[in-house]
Amino acid sequence: MTARQRSSRVNDKIMYLPKLSSIFFFIAVIITATLALHWYDGYRAAKEQGQDITYPEYIKEQAKAVKEGLGEIPNIVIEAQKGTDDITRGALAKIAEALFIYNLNTGEYPSAIEELLGDYIPENNKVIRNESFFYRRTGSGYEMGVTLPVSGEKYIIREK
């Protein structure tokens, strides 16, 4: 192995470090946001029960309770998974935008969703590849939907 090849391998490994730090930062943000939302819900419930407490005081109490092993820590995994349903809804909304643009360009909705692949939505769209995804043209509109991955509920968009 030449010095140039060794240098290239080292550079390849170094390039992963910023990606890893970005991933860890994203995870830290999710955990922090989840705790903040969870504690804010608890704070609102305490206020509704008539407790005279400020939000910073409530957070200090919760942090102290967690430190002592008495507090409730939300299940971060479940909270993060709930975000997956939101991402799926957003992806379906993007497909609806693509359908709208396709309709503007052609005057009708496609007979099959695959007609959008490439020009209107990426070929590797995971929502369309989901086995629960469906699309059908209905008269002058369409109906499409998917079963949300975490909640299991059907999410449907209709255009008439």
**pLDDT by residue (tens digit) across 46-82?**
888 888 878 777 777 777 776 666 555 555 555 556 6
Q: Which of 74, 92, 127 is the last residue of a domain?
A: 74
Query: Cβ distance 46 to 53 under 8 Å?
Result: yes
On whether both 60 and 121 belong to a single domain, the answer is no
The sign of the CA dihedral 43, 35, 38, 75 is negative
How crowded is residue 130: how many other Cβ atoms within 10 Å of its Cβ? 14
On whether both 96 and 45 belong to a single domain, the answer is no
On whether both 148 and 98 belong to a single domain, the answer is yes
Domain count, the chain: 2
Domain that holds residue 26: 3-74
Query: What is the model's pTM?
Result: 0.51
